[in-house]
């Protein structure tokens, strides 16, 4: 029998853990990413924890989303991926909530190889590796985090066989990122950037029907 939940005003029910959270712009981004992790990347809900507390000396920062190794305990040493979700007005260069915050959280987790920072407009993905020459920890940029059954080679060179349907507003996030990149780097007006973006899409996929909300 399907359960019916009464959601209090100003709250939303978390997609992964079912808890009620404040309905904010940042929470909207997090819920969209949670659905993507499960429905696109095929991670199990029991592999994911929300607002997971990390240990950093006397400090206890909380990561927005963490993904653990399959069948492992929910402990810091088993964290595989960290995702930080921000509202659109937060810039990646922000001192407190930018990509450096994500990197610091990844550094606290010895086995965390991947991290993603997003504000729904921009997305940055990092792979934590050790530089063979210096032995120092470095963060390499990638297009996306690996899926549960995927591998690194599929991330930057996807094939049609491993493409997945976008869920919720994740496709909107991607379109917005591409549009803003063209707008920012080519110096085009927004309407011109929009039509240049359409040309890119149409050149790669035919036929294609798109509905945009402007």
CA distance 156 to 96: 29
Q: Are residues 211 and 120 in the same domain?
A: no
Q: Are residues 35 and 136 in the same domain?
A: yes
Number of domains in the chain: 2
Q: Which of 19, 49, 27, 25 is nearest to 37 (CA)?
A: 49
Q: Are residues 57 and 79 in the same domain?
A: yes
Structure tokens at 82: 């960290």
CA distance 210 to 70: 37
Is residue 83 situated within a structural domain? yes
Residue ranges of alpha helices (H) inside the chain are 25-35, 99-108, 153-156, 170-186, 190-204
Domain span at residue 64? 11-158
> Which residue, of 117, 136, 158, is where some domain finishes?
158
What pLDDT digit, counting tens, does each position of 13-55 carry?
A: 999 999 999 999 999 999 999 999 999 999 999 999 999 999 9
Residue 57 exposure: Cα atoms within 13 Å on the Cβ side: 1
Structure tokens at 98: 């930018």
CA distance 100 to 94: 8
Q: Are residues 76 and 52 in the same domain?
A: yes
Q: Are residues 173 and 85 in the same domain?
A: no
Tell me the CA distances in angstroms from 199 to 103, 144, 158, 160, one per residue in order: 36, 24, 21, 20
> Which residue, of 136, 158, 180, is where some domain finishes?
158
How large is the angle between the packed helices 190-204 and 170-186, nearest 10 degrees?
120
> Which residue, of 119, 137, 158, is where some domain finishes?
158
Q: Are residues 154 and 173 in the same domain?
A: no
- What is the CATH number for 48? 3.90.1570.30
- Predicted pLDDT at 37: 96
Q: pTM, whole model, 2 decimals?
A: 0.75
Q: Measured on CA atoms in the order 163, 164, 170, 175, is the torsion positive or negative? A: positive
- Predicted pLDDT at 149: 83
Q: Are residues 114 and 186 in the same domain?
A: no
- Walk across the sheet containing 48-53 and list its strands: 48-53, 62-68, 79-85, 114-118, 123-130, 137-142
Is residue 152 situated within a structural domain? yes
Weakly modelled stretches of the chain, pLDDT under 70: 1-5, 153-214
Q: Are residues 80 and 180 in the same domain?
A: no
């Amino acid at each position: 029998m399907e359960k019916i939940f009464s959601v209090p005003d100003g709250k939303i029910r978390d997609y992964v853990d079912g808890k009620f959270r404040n309905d904010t712009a940042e929470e909207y981004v997090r819920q969209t990413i949670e659905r993507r992790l499960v429905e696109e990347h095929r991670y199990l809900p029991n592999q994911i924890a929300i607002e997971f507390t990390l240990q950093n000396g006397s400090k206890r920062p909380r990561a927005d989303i963490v993904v653990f190794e399959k069948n492992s305990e929910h402990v810091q040493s088993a964290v595989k991926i960290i995702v930080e979700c921000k509202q659109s007005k937060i810039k990646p260069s922000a001192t407190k909530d930018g990509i450096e915050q994500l990197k610091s959280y990844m550094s606290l987790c010895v086995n965390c190889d991947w991290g993603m920072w997003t504000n729904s407009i921009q997305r940055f993905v990092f792979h934590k590796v050790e530089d063979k020459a210096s032995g120092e920890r470095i963060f390499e940029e990638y297009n996306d985090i690996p899926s549960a059954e995927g591998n690194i080679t599929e991330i930057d060179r996807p094939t049609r066989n491993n493409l997945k349907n976008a869920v919720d507003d994740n496709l909107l996030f991607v379109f917005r990122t591409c549009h803003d990149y063209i707008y920012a780097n080519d110096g085009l007006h927004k309407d011109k950037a929009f039509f240049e973006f359409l040309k890119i899409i149409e050149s790669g996929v035919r036929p294609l029907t798109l509905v945009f909300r402007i």
